[in-house]
Amino acid sequence: MNFPERSEVGVDIQFHLTSTFASRVLAYARQNATGKICAAFGPATLRIEICGMILSSIALDPLRHAATSPTAPVDFHLLMIDGKDTGIDAPALDGLAAFHNGRERRIKIDSRRSALTVNEEWNTRCLIDADKRHSIVWIADAATIPEWVIYDQIKDALHWLSYESNFGLFHAAALRLGAVGCLIAGKGGSGKSTTTAAAIAHGFDTAGDDIVLVETTNVPRVHAVFDTVKLDDKSLARFSQFEPFVRNPRRGPDDKAIVHLFDSSRGRIASGFPLHVILHAHLTGEQQSRIVKSSPSDAFRALAPSSLLLLRAQGRQVAANCAKLVGRLGTYAFEIGTDTDAAVAELAGFVDQLKQ
């Protein structure tokens, strides 16, 4: 394995065991980290260390809202390494039995809760050791991969930490108006991000437009994981106040613009607020919007499949968390029309009724 001259950690042979790789890169990071943060997401606190200048900016900027004291107790340690920037090679896979799953391979390392996930499309390796409570991510070249691949590493660390805990990650948006918190569920393309952007413009607070952490207690509370809002070109033109803050101007034609609310609308980032209802969203194609009473089973079908797809592991726990959550919240259908302002007005009126 190749470590650059600037590190005092000398290596003269290739490491064939992931445990050796882990111990060496952890030592390397103590001397050469280019960025670090302790980030608190309600019941979970991560210490994140980055090796690589480009990777530091991409990985840490969406977490600024969650920064806490560097001396705070942490629940999990995430180390992310840019192979090109640091000169560190990927961990060798010699002698390990691979289990193939699409473009990813998950490799069993030992009898403990440990796994090495290989993403062949984006050339990443993620070594998770849930018993040692750390995750080590190697990325071949952070400058050449989409931002969401890097965000996924943070999401996955939180997901592993949630195992057998009283919180979970969910594919949903979360909005607050006054003291009323709403979770908006729905598959990709159901209007969560556009509705979130419009709601922010009309005075709502948000804990996220795509993935949130929720305490699955008797009174569920939602916490912001990332400060991002993702908008397609049409929505970005509609909400031009976000355009100066787009972080990926050279995005591909199928990629959404990424805006950090910490830069554009810092006062609208909210975390730790109680949830009262879950609305499962879908686009109707009609001009007007409406919110109508629905069943917990409908809400579960909107929340669980996309959350399972997004999280990819611990499926039984994800499904159980979704069932627990919809059982504790009022459930409604949010039929979103083409008039975005009218959709937010419908949501605001609905919240006012809940307050009464």
User: Rounded to the nearest 5°, which phi and psi values hold at 128?
Assistant: -110, 130
Q: Is 8 within the bounds of a domain? A: no
User: Rounded to the nearest 5°, which phi and psi values hold at 145?
Assistant: -115, 155
- Mean pLDDT is highest, among 7-11, 19-23, 337-341, for 337-341
Is pLDDT at 344 greater than 50 in this prediction? Answer: yes
The pLDDT of residue 132 is: 85
Q: Is 139 within the bounds of a domain? A: yes
CB neighbours of residue 148 within 10 Å: 15
Mean pLDDT along residues 124-132: 86
Mean pLDDT along residues 245-263: 91
| Same domain membership, residue 277 and residue 145 | no
Q: Is 57 within the bounds of a domain? A: yes
Phi-psi label, residue 106: left if phi above 0, alpha if psi -120 to 50, beta otherwise:
beta
185, 281 contact by CB (below 8 A):
yes
Residue 18: pLDDT band (50, 70, 90) is: low
Helix axes 296-311, 147-161, angle to 10 degrees: 110
Domain residue limits at 104: 18-161
| Same domain membership, residue 351 and residue 226 | yes
| Same domain membership, residue 173 and residue 211 | yes
309: domain CATH number is 3.40.50.300
| Same domain membership, residue 283 and residue 306 | yes
| Same domain membership, residue 245 and residue 188 | yes
Is pLDDT at 96 greater than 50 in this prediction? Answer: no
CB neighbours of residue 265 within 10 Å: 20
Look at residues 109, 135, 161 and tell me which one is the last residue of a structural domain.
161
Apex 75 CA angle, 70 and 79, nearest 5: 70
Compute, in degrees rounded to 10, the torsion defined by CA atoms 337, 341, 344, 350. Answer: -80
Residue 97: pLDDT band (50, 70, 90) is: very low
Pairing of strands 211-215, 167-177: antiparallel
Residue 93: pLDDT band (50, 70, 90) is: low
Residue 111: pLDDT band (50, 70, 90) is: very low
Residue that wins the pLDDT comparison between 18 and 137:
137
The pLDDT of residue 40 is: 98
What one-letter code names the amino acid at 84?
K
| Assigned token pair, 321 | 């968390």
Q: Is 1 within the bounds of a domain? A: no
| Same domain membership, residue 287 and residue 177 | yes
Residue that wins the pLDDT comparison between 312 and 114:
312
Mean pLDDT along residues 287-304: 96
Whose CA is closest to 340, among 148, 137, 195, 133? 195
Residue 313: pLDDT band (50, 70, 90) is: confident
325: helix, strand or coil: helix
| Same domain membership, residue 286 and residue 144 | no
- On the 0-12 / 13-18 / 19+ scale of CB atoms within 10 A, 120 is exposed
Mean pLDDT along residues 45-49: 97
The pLDDT of residue 245 is: 96
The pLDDT of residue 342 is: 95
The pLDDT of residue 15 is: 33
| Same domain membership, residue 212 and residue 111 | no
175, 184 contact by CB (below 8 A):
yes
The H or E element that residue 219 is part of is none
Domains of the chain: total: 2
Q: What is the 3 state secondary structure string of 253-311?
A: CCCCEEEEHHHHCHHHECCCEECCEEEEEEECCCCCCEEEECCHHHHHHHHHHHHHHHH
The pLDDT of residue 4 is: 39
Q: Is 11 within the bounds of a domain? A: no
Residues with Cβ within 8 Å of 98's Cβ and at least 6 positions away in sequence, in order, are 105, 106, 107, 118
| Same domain membership, residue 235 and residue 127 | no
User: For 138-173, what is each residue's pLDDT tens digit?
Assistant: 999 999 998 999 999 999 999 989 987 999 999 999
pLDDT-wise least confident of 115-124, 144-153, 262-271, 286-295: 115-124
If you average pLDDT over every residue of the chain, what do you get? 88
| Same domain membership, residue 233 and residue 209 | yes
The pLDDT of residue 199 is: 97
Q: How far is CA 335 from the centre of its chain?
A: 26
Instruction: Kindly report each contact of residues 317-322 with a partner whose C-beta sits within 8 Å and lies 24 or more positions away, as own/partner.
Output: 317/162, 317/163, 317/164, 317/168, 318/168, 321/168, 321/170, 321/214, 321/216, 322/170
pTM summary value: 0.89
Q: Is 305 within the bounds of a domain? A: yes
The pLDDT of residue 63 is: 98
Mean pLDDT along residues 294-322: 94
**Where do we find the tokens 């009309």?**
202
| Same domain membership, residue 50 and residue 177 | no
Mean pLDDT along residues 114-135: 86
The H or E element that residue 3 is part of is none
Q: Is 58 within the bounds of a domain? A: yes
The pLDDT of residue 2 is: 45
Look at residues 115, 146, 161 and tell me which one is the last residue of a structural domain.
161
- On the 0-12 / 13-18 / 19+ scale of CB atoms within 10 A, 121 is exposed
Look at residues 138, 161, 184 and tell me which one is the last residue of a structural domain.
161
| Same domain membership, residue 264 and residue 327 | yes
Mean pLDDT along residues 127-132: 83
Mean pLDDT along residues 264-284: 97
310, 303 contact by CB (below 8 A):
no
Is pLDDT at 7 greater than 80 in this prediction? Answer: no
Q: Is 4 within the bounds of a domain? A: no
Give the integer Cα–Cα distance in Å for 236 and 69.
Answer: 35
Is pLDDT at 282 greater than 70 in this prediction? Answer: yes
307, 318 contact by CB (below 8 A):
yes
User: For 193-242, what is each residue's pLDDT tens digit?
Assistant: 999 999 999 999 999 999 999 999 999 999 999 999 999 999 999 999 99
Compute, in degrees rounded to 10, the torsion defined by CA atoms 145, 265, 234, 340. Answer: 140
